[in-house]
Chain A
């Protein structure tokens, strides 16, 4: 990677981007392909997915069979380094000690950010998701609708490569014709649930994931994405030809050396670097956005982690894409006479209205799967199918007690065994003993791959009790004040989890599974704690006016016109969809607007 050091920083740039993940990567790509000079600051080290990811290693090739440890919190081979819920020297706090008021904050300190290890599930927000107040009388309407974002969803899907099918579902939009890559065949468990789920009204369709199932069309896509820009077309075509389609093995969370799946470096940063319009500075921990006397952003002060020195990078425009809460922290720490409560915070809304997916899960043993004929179910390194939300009529009639809905993601199949592969085998064997010897080997083979489980991820509308602020005393290892979180579930969220538990249980029972439903008393234990799904968004929400929101519809802050956000911070709520695809679509749309404003001399 042609990355720079703080000693080779240029005097100034057109745009400074903080963060190299989905939002930062997309912004850098869009701008540099059109000739804008960009500096990207990344708090972690440089990282090369082509040489550093362990795709085929077995658990027995890792310490402790690859189980998670405080050093590698999603397991040894997970493509996360210097990352985690807890990072030494980089604390955060929770205002309440109560478990149901806790927020967990995952940080990814490496080039490419969280795009290195995610599941690549890429679902579009639907029309209802942008207008929850109009539709449900709760939450906030986004200042944009689905139709504003749809063209950018198409463009992102063509660029990154998303497989899936168009199913014509209400509020789970189709892509334009020719945009999606072919969906892979479903596995036994997915087909079995598809058949038996009909009894309880579960519709099971191919999921959308950012994995190439065939080579990208390098002959036609570049011209669609960059009309009238020969240089961009040439660079993109070259990079599309470097990507190989999926070889139907290995877990996507480990990263992908053959570039079959999307990560920021593979798809966004490499072509952006090829334009020669991008400098990337790793090990740069942003501390503060600086402003001039007129209140315009002038650049970013950062700590060079290689030597502990504080430096400043100057630019005409600043884009924060540090991940939603890290961007919020930067705003709150950028205090001045003009902005005594933090930058772009005249509304007092910076840090407010954080949301995550509302989530719980249930699993069961499916006796019909016992002694399955041995076959390879690796597939595209993650789920091939999902259960979209379809209970819109019940929602319209107010029968459910919560707005929006949730989709279900599968756990099934004959996956690579982990250390816990025989967990629960004694219960299945049924005589109350601890199996060992010949019988253990026989039963392990009989019961392996017989699990079917579903995890729900659902709508969360913003509430006043969920927000962050600067901790009054605690600072990180560089002396930067840290965040303190407040978290509150509403009755909507609790009702949704009850519905999730009941519906998944019915679905598993329809497939012949025996399920012990969790009891009502354990509702807070049943649901995943705030932040756990790592879909946290909000904190600098977009809106119609400067009193009630931090940015306008272009993710441009109301207070500072040359300051933009490109991560999840401007989200006005969490849909029942995973946020990454929407982060990329919004970032592309924002970057187009940013360039228009630059050309007009407005920034």
Chain B
């Protein structure tokens, strides 16, 4: 993946931070992996968790196989997650509950079902930064909410999508599905969608009266 040519100049301090964090991340993830290869869309060579993993352990992205995204890619991934699921008065944003890390874990998976998504997401994140630079002279993460929405609105109506945006629209749909799925499978996301189970209780009392009334059963 090439760097967008028309990126705004970043300040020196930020550039050093990025370089350091990227280098540290790559070193920690897989010393055998060249930095250049970490951004290709070839399937990862890592191993899966095997047929007999500990089921009771709590896993974090990166625990079982190395992650992929470079720091600029991560910034785009974070920003797009939060356009798709922003914070509101009652629930947090997708990035604040770790959804970009999940997407990184997903596209870094060694299993075949995720291989197609790896290409779609990596090419899509590049496209969205390129498109942001073309239109607004900044990377996607640095755009205003309105500018980000303007790009996404061009992608979210398959019937109205311009021919040159077809691939980007397919990326947007898939990225939306991963973001929403990733979000609603966290504790915070479950609360946001209205799931209140997974707690032990002495009795199961059946539906409350207001639920029965809602569907005409009481």
* Chain A residues with a Cβ under 8 A of chain B: 45, 51-54, 56-67, 69-72, 76-77, 79, 81-84, 87-88, 184-188, 191-192, 195, 246-250, 254, 368-369, 371-380, 414-423, 425, 432-438, 440-441, 444-445, 448-449
Contact = CB atoms under 8 A, between A and B. Distances in A.
17 contacts: A51-B56, A58-B186, A60-B182, A65-B102, A71-B51, A79-B55, A185-B207, A187-B206, A191-B207, A249-B199, A368-B214, A376-B196, A378-B197, A417-B184, A432-B158, A433-B158, A449-B194
B173 interface: yes
A419 B56 CA distance: 19
B211 interface: yes
Nearest to B192: A441
B216 interface: yes
Contacts of A195: 217
A436 B152 contact: yes
Q: Binding site of A, secondary structure by majority: helix, strand, loop or mixed?
A: loop
Interface string B196-218: 11111111111110111011110
A448 B204 contact: no
Contacts of B124: none
A421 B184 contact: yes
A70 B55 contact: no
A419 B185 contact: yes
B59 to A, nearest CB: 5
B84 interface: yes
Nearest to B194: A374
Q: Binding site of B, secondary structure by majority: helix, strand, loop or mixed?
A: loop
Interface stretch (B69-77, B105-113, B133-141): B105-113
Contacts of B215: 188, 192, 368-369, 372
A436 B156 contact: yes
A59 B58 contact: no
B149 interface: yes
Given A60-B98, A437-B86, A69 B48 contact: yes
Contacts of A438: 86, 88
B198 A416 contact: yes
Interface residues of B, number: 73
Contacts of A448: 193-195
Contacts of A377: 197, 207
A249 B198 contact: yes
B64 to A, nearest CB: 5
A81 B105 contact: no
Across the A-B interface, the 5 shortest Cβ-Cβ residue pairs: A185-B206, A419-B181, A378-B197, A247-B200, A59-B185
Contacts of A60: 98, 102, 182, 185-187
A66 B152 CA distance: 29
A416 B59 CA distance: 18
A171 B102 CA distance: 50
Given A51-B56, A372-B211, A58 B217 contact: no
B204 A63 contact: no
Contacts of A250: 198
A64 B216 CA distance: 39
A415 B98 CA distance: 22
Contacts of B40: none
A378 B205 CA distance: 11
Contacts of A417: 184-185, 189-190, 193, 195
A64 B192 contact: no
Contacts of A81: 51-53, 55
A400 B126 CA distance: 58
Given A58-B198, A186-B206, A438-B86, 14 more contacts: A51-B56, A52-B54, A64-B106, A65-B102, A65-B181, A83-B51, A192-B217, A376-B197, A417-B195, A422-B180, A433-B156, A434-B155, A440-B180, A441-B88
Contact of A57 (B56, B85, B210): B56
B8 interface: no
Contacts of A69: 48-49, 109, 111, 113
B177 interface: yes
A434 B210 CA distance: 32
Given A421-B185, A449-B194, A434 B176 contact: yes
Contact of B52 (A45, A368, A379): A45
B172 A445 contact: no
Contact of B48 (A70, A372, A444): A70
Contact of B111 (A57, A70, A77, A375): A70
A67 B109 CA distance: 12
Interface string B139-166: 0000000000100100111110000000
A372 B214 contact: yes
B50 A71 contact: yes
B125 to A, nearest CB: 16
A425 to B, nearest CB: 8
A305 to B, nearest CB: 13
A63 B52 contact: no
Given A375-B207, A378-B197, A417-B190, A64 B176 contact: no
